[in-house]
């Protein structure tokens, strides 16, 4: 078993990883490698090119691992495990993986079962494990970054508040499987592989399945001051889908184009782009879940 950790992890995380690693070793040999750059991860995967590989970290860590395995063409031959150590841990929450690292380690060590999950792949070669957001979702994630060390999951609604004060919308064209969804000013375009986002603070796509071969697309045109506030409140409870200014659909491919926008992919925010297309790859990788 290969255990990938963050070389920049703090003392408390290192102690937690140590306890989790001891549990993993009860199931067999474990090679632990700390990575700080993508090149470190590539070297680790090249040296240990079979068996289970476990990411110790948050949504960004599991995203980085799956991205590397996808790029190397190794997703089909690997089983992936997750020890949640992040702030949001959206993927773990959505799939019922314990948020306590030692409990998650017991799942990886033998209590869990591999589940085949869909993957979204974009036209730049990037992958989406849990969710991607364009518009206010990307700006909120960027704004929340500075607050995570102090406020933890509460940083996400705070980031959303700040982003909502600064931005009123983006002029975008959105297509799903070649059909026009909208062409106008929108607040947010979101693609979900499962339901929850923002550290459990929002239920983006209630009932979404990460293994149905489709992505859930949610588009909000709630661009007015009161509409933005109402949308934010409704998003937390999943009631946003009842709004007249929100559209939800399912698709195998989604394209967004228009004025420059950033993309929040599994918590990582991109530089501005003017177009992006995502395609579902069904059952592309396997993750150990309860």
Residue-wise pLDDT tens digits, 138-152: 776 655 555 454 545
pLDDT at 180: 98
Determine which helix (DSSP H) or strand (DSSP E) holds 181, and give its type and residue range. Answer: strand 179-186
Whether 161 has a pLDDT exceeding 60, the answer reads no
Q: What is the mean pLDDT of residues 195-201?
A: 56
Give me the chain's average pLDDT, please. Answer: 85
Does 134 or 37 have the greater pLDDT score? 134
Residue-wise pLDDT tens digits, 31-66: 999 998 888 999 999 998 878 999 999 888 999 999
Using an 8 Å Cβ cutoff, are 53 and 70 in contact? no
Does 238 or 277 have the greater pLDDT score? 277
Whether 77 has a pLDDT exceeding 60, the answer reads yes
Q: What pTM was estimated for this model as a whole?
A: 0.86
Does 238 or 67 have the greater pLDDT score? 67
Going along the chain from its start, the domains and CATH numbers come out as: 2-111 (3.40.50.10330), 127-282 (2.60.200.40)
pLDDT-derived band at 7, boundaries 50, 70, 90: confident
Burial of 104 (0-12, 13-18, 19+ CB in 10 A): buried
In angstroms, the CA 253 to CA 240 distance is 23
């Amino acid at each position: 078993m290969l255990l990938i950790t963050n070389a920049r992890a703090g003392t408390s995380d290192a102690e937690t990883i140590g306890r989790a690693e001891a549990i993993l070793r009860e199931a067999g040999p474990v090679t632990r490698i700390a990575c700080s750059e993508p090149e470190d991860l590539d070297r680790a995967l090249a040296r240990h090119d079979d068996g289970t590989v476990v990411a110790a970290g948050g949504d960004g860590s599991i995203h980085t691992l799956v991205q590397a395995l996808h790029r190397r063409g190794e997703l089909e031959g690997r089983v992936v495990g997750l020890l949640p150590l992040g702030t949001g841990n959206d993927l773990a929450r959505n799939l019922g993986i314990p948020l306590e690292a030692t409990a998650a380690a017991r799942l990886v060590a033998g209590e869990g079962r591999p589940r085949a999950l869909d993957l979204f792949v974009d036209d730049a070669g990037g992958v989406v494990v849990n969710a991607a957001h364009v518009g206010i979702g990307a700006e909120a994630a960027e704004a929340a970054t500075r607050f995570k060390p102090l406020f933890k999951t509460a940083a996400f609604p705070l980031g959303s508040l700040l982003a909502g004060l600064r931005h009123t919308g983006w002029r975008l064209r959105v297509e799903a499987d070649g059909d026009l969804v909208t062409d106008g000013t929108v607040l947010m375009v979101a693609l979900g592989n499962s339901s929850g986002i923002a550290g459990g603070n929002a239920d983006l796509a209630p009932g979404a399945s990460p293994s149905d071969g489709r992505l859930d697309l949610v588009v909000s045109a709630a661009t007015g001051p009161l509409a933005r506030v109402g949308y934010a409140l409704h998003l937390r409870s999943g009631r946003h889908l009842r709004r007249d200014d929100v559209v939800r659909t399912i698709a195998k491919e989604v394209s967004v184009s228009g004025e420059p926008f950033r993309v929040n992919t599994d918590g990582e925010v991109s530089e501005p782009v003017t177009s992006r297309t995502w395609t579902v790859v069904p059952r592309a990788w396997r993750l150990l879940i309860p």
